[in-house]
Every structure is written in C-alpha cells, then in structure tokens.
Amino acid sequence: MKTRFNTVDIRAVIAEINANYLGMRVNNVYDIDTKTYLIRLQKPDTKAILLVESGVRIHSTDFEWPKNNMPSGFAMKCRKHLKSRRLTQVKQLGADRIVDIQFGSDEAAYHLIVELYDRGNIILTDHEYTILNLLRFRTADAEDVKIAVRERYPVENARPPEPLISLER
C-alpha cells in the first residue's frame, strides 16, 4: 500500500477534483484527528467529501469517517472562512508536492494550501496568501522563510514545473 503521494499522484488527484468538484460549495469542515480533515462539498443534486491529510494525501472519499465530537481550533477557523464558499480552483504549486485549493474568487478568495511532504502542513490563507491559520508553525531555514500567522505564504518559492515525459531523444 502506498504511504505518500508523489508528483504523478498529485497531478492525477488534481485532475479528478477539477473535473468533478469545481463549483461545489463547502458544506462543512470536520477533523478526524490532529492532521486529517474532511471537507464536505455539495451542489443541489450532488454531495462529495474531500479527505486532506497533512503530509500524506488528498482525495475524494465515500467512506463515513468518525469525526471528533469537539472540532479543533483549525477546523473552526476553516469553517468560519470556507463555509458556503465555492471550490473554484485546485492546482499544484510548481513541481513541489504542494496543493493550492482555492475557495471563492477575487477579494473574497481563500486558499487551503496542503503540503504533502515531510511532516506536511495545512495552511489557510486569504486572497493575497497572507496566512490566517495553520496546523504547524515552522521556519524554513534553507529559504529563511517564516511560516506563521499574518506572514505571507511564499508561493513564488515553488520549483518551476517540469514535464512528466520528455519527447527529446
């Protein structure tokens, strides 16, 4: 069984989410444990659940996961900002294992950035990528970047995307 997503897995999941779930509204956000969250999406005739696990995976699910009785602070903050917003875009930041999920548009947009490497992180930002809340505070020593509330998430630091298959001989 696979334990971590690689770049190909991430591209496949993003393609699936973009094909099937764009335009759906966030009904609610639940936490399963300290690093796994469910985002319940719905349209008038359709429902879906996205499972997001920090550092490990992101995908749709039909399984009824047991939810915590009392939501965490991070889940409450996500509910506050994401509830009733439309899922408008899902993209990979460069060639890194980072997924940017956008809810809403223009000035009212919020981004849920999911880091799928090392211990991972889930970061809630506004339309300018100013961090509103995050699972794990850290400082990226190599880039001298502080990942903390009210700091700007460094989207421009993502490695540029590389083609999966080269046609050169």
Query: d(Cα 32, Cα 57) in Å, to the nearest integer?
Result: 14
Query: d(Cα 53, Cα 145) in Å, to the nearest integer?
Result: 23
Which of 4, 163, 153, 10 minimizes the C-alpha distance to 92? 10
pLDDT tens digit sequence for 44-55? 999 999 999 998
pLDDT (mean) for 89-99: 89
Q: Is 46 helix (H, G, I), strand (E, B) or coil?
A: coil
pTM here is 0.86
Label residue 66 exposed, middle or buried (CB < 10 Å: 0-12, 13-18, 19+). exposed
Q: Tell me, what's the pLDDT at 78?
A: 93
Inform me whether the pLDDT recorded for 105 exceeds 60.
yes
74, 87 contact by CB (below 8 A):
no
- 36-42 and 47-53 as β-strands: parallel, antiparallel, unpaired? antiparallel
pLDDT tens digit sequence for 124-157? 999 999 999 998 776 655 555 667 788 888 877 7
